[in-house]
Amino acid sequence: MSGQKGKGRNKRLAIDELTANDVSSESDEEVDVGVMSTEDLCRRFLPILPKLQKKVDKALKKLSDQRLEIDNLKEQVVKLEDEVDTLKSENSRLHHQANQHNLVLSGLDEVRGETTFTLHRRIEELLKTKLKRDFRIDTAFRLGKPEETKPRLVKIRFELMRERNYVWDNRKSMGHPLCKRRLAPQSESKQSNFAQRS
């Protein structure tokens, strides 16, 4: 009996030693695999690093070109803004210069079937009657939308500045309708939208 027990202990010791050796062997293999895996990654990626670097350099160059293009566009925008400001200033000057030939007449009653042609003739006859001389009128038209309560203003453009000035200087002799130098800026901007509709 004692001999069998001794054999059993020896078997268990042999199994324990075998298991310990196996674990130790597996741990060594894992370390080796880990080291080999890192080396394998290095072997795989080192050759393609130059290609990746070329792609990065290409992307950086493209980005640099885009930035240069954006800077050029910004310069063009600044130039266009300057040109727009210049055109606005010139347009304002021309508008002011053109308005120097204009006068506004208020209180002239509107007749049924009135047209720009008949209005033009009425203004010429009115000025001739009131101021005892002929005037050359370029255009005459109503401003704004028709109203039942009062007649619309009439904007008159004279061909000659001196004739316009003569009418203005002698406006008191006209009595009614009244002659005005110009509309208030807000009224003029609002009513000009309808100037050619009458």
Query: Which residues partner with 69 through β-bridges?
Result: none
What does the pLDDT read at residue 190?
42
Q: CB-based contacts of 118: which residues, under 8 Å, 6+ apart? A: 111
Helices (H), the chain: 2-45, 49-99, 116-131, 161-169, 171-174, 185-191
What does the pLDDT read at residue 8?
53
Whether residue 115 contacts residue 103, with contact meaning beta carbons closer than 8 Å, is answered with no
Q: CB-based contacts of 100: which residues, under 8 Å, 6+ apart? A: 161, 164
> How far is the C-alpha of 48 from the C-alpha of 18, rounded, in Å?
45
What does the pLDDT read at residue 187?
43
**Per-domain boundaries in the chain:** 51-99, 101-194
What does the pLDDT read at residue 158?
92
Q: 86 burial class (0-12, 13-18, 19+ CB within 10 angstroms)?
A: exposed
CATH number of 101-194: 3.30.70.1820
In the three-class reduction of DSSP (H, G, I as helix; E, B as strand; rest coil), residue 114 is classed as coil
pLDDT digits (tens), the chain, 198 positions: 555 555 555 555 444 454 444 444 444 444 343 445 777 777 777 788 888 888 888 888 889 889 989 999 999 999 999 999 999 998 888 877 777 889 998 889 998 889 999 999 999 999 999 999 999 999 999 998 888 888 999 999 999 989 999 998 888 887 777 777 654 443 444 443 333 333
> How far is the C-alpha of 124 from the C-alpha of 108, rounded, in Å?
13
Whether residue 127 contacts residue 191, with contact meaning beta carbons closer than 8 Å, is answered with no
Please choose, from the candidates 156, 159, 126, the residue with its C-alpha nearest in 3D space to the C-alpha of residue 141. 156
